[in-house]
A and B are shown apart, each in its own frame.
Chain A
Amino acid sequence: MALARPTRRDRPAPTERSRNPVLSCIVTSSPPDRQQAFHDIALRWLPDVTRFARSLTRDETNAEDLVQETYLRAWRHWDSFKPGSEARAWLFTIARNAWRKRAPRDARLVPVEDATLQALAEQDFPLGASNDVLQRLSDADLRPAIRNAIAGLPDGFREVVELVELQELPYAEAAEVLEIPVGTVRSRLFRARRLLQQSLLEHARDAGLVAAAAEKEIRS
């Protein structure tokens, strides 16, 4: 298995339009152009905002409502959008703030206090795995397991994985959206990856890919 990380998939450059000087002028100009700018700059991120909303709400109906509310707020406050700034991060921030206001108290973004989970996350080392385990995992379709593992992460970790790993926001932009220091984004990301590794090992055991004895071996 090669160590080099694969090339990131092609996607529209986040600032391709939002830094376009022509569009920057349009944002504050006449209503038809204002609408066109909103379409070009804000609505283009609808798939990403939808995904982020799903991550926040973990519920399809709530996610749809949240996406609508996010875009409604964005439209109402479109004049406050700073041309040249990162529109996607701006939309994520709106979505997150909207969710924090509307979510039931017990569903807000509160980290899960699980001592075992926290202790595991706070260990410095990533997990290692034997060649046999790695081979079996590499051969398996891990996508369902990874989706479940991400969904099961404590909120503070899941948010970072969603923004940095899945939405590919730079640390600094993720930090802005989450209102935490950049260093915290980095440390949470690394801890989250460790938790994902742990989840994958458990998945491998449950799926019969790894014998209990082998799992014990690779935890050491």
Chain B
Amino acid sequence: MNMHRDPTTPEPPMLDCATAVRKLWDYLDRKLDDVDQEAVRLHMTRCAHCFPHAEFGQLILDAVAEVRRAEPEPASVRDGVLARLRAEGYDGP
């Protein structure tokens, strides 16, 4: 925990569990403003009830990220597309 907070930085609000968990997906997506992001982070690291929600939320995002990368399309797809395009006058690469 930062014990020497920048006085110009607003103190993050104390969140109750319901609010913290409702903001969880935005927090994990890093879509909250800095103050809210920090408030949720603090709550999640200190609250034994909410921490598993955060961990499981992150796990699902990590698991989805694992399947994110698009596989190269099969050659048959590209060949089929180019054949249709060439029939319509496309003569590019």
The 8 A CB mask of A41-53 against B (1 = contact, 0 = none) is 0010011101100
Q: Mark A162-182, 1 if CB is under 8 A from B, else 0.
A: 000111100000000000000
* B82 CB, min distance to chain A CBs, angstroms: 8
Q: How large is the interface on B (under 10, 10 to 19, 20 to 34, 35 or more residues)?
A: 35 or more
In this complex, how many residues of chain A approach chain B with their Cβ under 8 Å: the count is 54
A138: B residues at CB distance < 8 A: 59
A142 at the interface (CB under 8 A from B): yes
Residue of A nearest to B17 (CB): A125
- A103-127 interface (Cβ within 8 A of B): 124-127
Question: Contact: B58 with A146, CB < 8 Å?
Answer: no
Partner of B91, one of A5, A35, A47, A72: A35
Q: Give the tally of cross-chain contacts (CB within 8 A).
A: 141
B80 and A166 contact, CB distance less than 8 A: no
Q: Does B3 contact A (CB under 8 A)?
A: no
- Chain B contacts for A35, CB-based, 8 A: 90-92
By a beta-carbon cutoff of 8 Å, the part of chain B in contact with chain A is 18, 21-22, 24-25, 28-30, 41, 44-45, 49-50, 52-73, 76-78, 80-81, 84-85, 88, 90-93
Identify the 8 closest CB pairs spanning chains A and B, nearest first. Answer: A35-B92, A128-B52, A50-B73, A129-B56, A142-B63, A39-B92, A128-B53, A47-B70
